[in-house]
Each structure stands twice: as structure tokens, then as C-alpha cells.
């Protein structure tokens, strides 16, 4: 019985870790500065 609980606990931790690692991916903030504020970079780069 204890072996079964341990196995389910480890499986839960593995799946929770995978889900949280996927949730951490993505855009962190706006790519463009807000209107009215200058860019932090000295020049603009071409967009593709």
C-alpha cells in the first residue's frame, strides 16, 4: 500500500513540475515601449 502511495506521489510531482515548467514559458512583457516614453536603445532595428 505504501509503495502505491509513493508511486502516485512521485507521478503527481512529476506532472506538476512539467505543468509548471510549461506555464513559465511565454512573453514576459510588452515588446514596444508605452506611447510617449522614449526607447532605451540608441537606434531602431529593422523588423522582418
Average pLDDT over residues 30-46: 70
Instruction: For residue 2, give Cα distances in angstroms to 7, 11, 14, 18, 29.
Output: 9, 14, 18, 24, 45
Residue 44 clears pLDDT 80, i.e. is over it: no
Contacts of 21 (CB under 8 A, 6+ apart): none
pLDDT tens digit sequence for 4-35? 889 999 999 999 998 888 776 666 666 677 77
What does pTM read for this prediction?
0.46
Sign of the CA dihedral 37, 40, 46, 48? negative
Contact 33, 39 (CB under 8 A): yes
33: left (phi over 0), alpha (psi -120 to 50) or beta: beta
What's the confidence (pLDDT) of residue 29?
Answer: 67
Amino acid at each position: 500500500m505504501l509503495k502505491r502511495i509513493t508511486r502516485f506521489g512521485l507521478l503527481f510531482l512529476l506532472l506538476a513540475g512539467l505543468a509548471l515548467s510549461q506555464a513559465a514559458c511565454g512573453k514576459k512583457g510588452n515588446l514596444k515601449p508605452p506611447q510617449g516614453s522614449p526607447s532605451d536603445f540608441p537606434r531602431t532595428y529593422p523588423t522582418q
